[in-house]
Amino acid sequence: MKIAVLPGDGIGTEIVAEALRVLQALDLTFETETALVGGAAYEAHGHPLPESTLKLAKDADAVLFGAVGDWKYDKLERSLRPEQAILGLRKNLGLFANFRPAICYEQLVDASSLKPELIAGLDILIIRELTGDIYFGQPRGRRTAVDGHFPGADEAFDTMRYSRPEVERIAHVAFQAARKRSKRVTSVDKANVLETFQFWKDIVTEVGKEYPDVELDHMYVDNAAMQLVKAPKKFDVVVTGNMFGDILSDEAAMLTGSIGMLPSASLNSSNQGLYEPSHGSAPDIAGKGVANPLATILSAAMMLRFSLNQPEAADRIESAVKHVLAQGLRTADIWSAGTTKVGTREMGDAVVAAI
Ligand X SMILES: CC(C)[C@H](C(=O)O)[C@@H](O)C(=O)O
d(CA 211, CA 26) in angstroms, rounded, equals 37
- Consult the annotation and say whether 70 binds a ligand: no
- Consult the annotation and say whether 292 binds a ligand: yes
- Consult the annotation and say whether 290 binds a ligand: yes
Upper half-sphere CA count for residue 273 (Cβ side, 13 Å): 22
Q: Which residues 215-244 are close enough to bind ligand X by CB under 6 A?
A: 222
Which of ligand X, its own copies, none does 49 bind, CB closer than 5 to 8 A by kind?
A: none
Query: Where on the chain is the footprint of its own copies (CB under 8 A)?
Result: 78, 81, 83, 87, 94, 96, 113-115, 118, 131-132, 134-138, 140-142, 145, 147-150, 153-166, 190, 192-196, 198-200, 221-223, 225-230, 243-244, 246-251, 253-255, 257, 259
Per CB under 6 A, the segment of 79-87, 161-169, 194-202, 282-290 that binds ligand X is 79-87
d(CA 237, CA 331) in angstroms, rounded, equals 29
- Consult the annotation and say whether 111 binds a ligand: no
Is 243 in contact with 133 (CB distance < 8 Å)?
yes
Applying CB under 6 A, among 87, 134, 219, 229 the residue interacting with ligand X is: 87
Angle between helices 195-208 and 164-179 (to 10 degrees): 50
Which of ligand X, its own copies, none does 255 bind, CB closer than 5 to 8 A by kind?
A: its own copies
Which of its own copies, ligand X, none does 86 bind, CB closer than 5 to 8 A by kind?
A: ligand X
Decide if 250 is catalytic.
yes
Residue 4 beta carbon to its own copies: minimum distance, rounded to whole angstroms = 23
Upper half-sphere CA count for residue 333 (Cβ side, 13 Å): 21
Upper half-sphere CA count for residue 115 (Cβ side, 13 Å): 4
140 binds ligand X (CB under 6 A): no
83 binds ligand X (CB under 6 A): yes
Decide if 222 is catalytic.
yes
* Residue 29 or 150 with smaller CB distance to its own copies: 150
Upper half-sphere CA count for residue 137 (Cβ side, 13 Å): 15
DSSP 29: -
- Consult the annotation and say whether 289 binds a ligand: yes
Residue 20 beta carbon to its own copies: minimum distance, rounded to whole angstroms = 28
Decide if 275 is catalytic.
no
- Beta-sheet pairing, 340-341 with 273-277: unpaired
Decide if 154 is catalytic.
no
113 binds ligand X (CB under 6 A): no
Per CB under 6 A, the segment of 80-88, 103-111, 224-232, 310-318 that binds ligand X is 80-88
Closest CA to 12 of 46, 45, 35: 35
* Residue 1 or 225 with smaller CB distance to ligand X: 225
* Residue 119 or 342 with smaller CB distance to its own copies: 119
β-bridge partners, 4: 33, 63
Out of 222, 230, 234, 315, pick the active-site residue: 222
- How many C-beta atoms lie closer than 10 Å to residue 217's C-beta? 11
* Residue 35 or 224 with smaller CB distance to ligand X: 224
Burial bucket for residue 259 (CB in 10 Å: 0-12, 13-18, 19+):
buried
* Residue 91 or 322 with smaller CB distance to ligand X: 91
What are the backbone dihedrals phi and psi of residue 155, each rounded to the nearest 5 degrees, phi first?
A: -145, 160
What 3-state class would DSSP assign to 337? coil
* Residue 87 or 120 with smaller CB distance to ligand X: 87
Decide if 180 is catalytic.
no
Angle between helices 344-354 and 311-326 (to 10 degrees): 120
Residues 6+ apart with CB under 8 A from 227: 219, 234, 235
Out of 123, 158, 202, 250, pick the active-site residue: 250
Is 131 in contact with 96 (CB distance < 8 Å)?
yes
Is 191 in contact with 198 (CB distance < 8 Å)?
yes
**Bind-site residues for substrate:** 90, 100, 128, 222
**Bind-site residues:** 90, 100, 128, 222, 246, 250, 280-292
Which residues of the chain form contacts with ligand X (CB under 6 A)?
Answer: 83, 86-87, 192-193, 222, 246
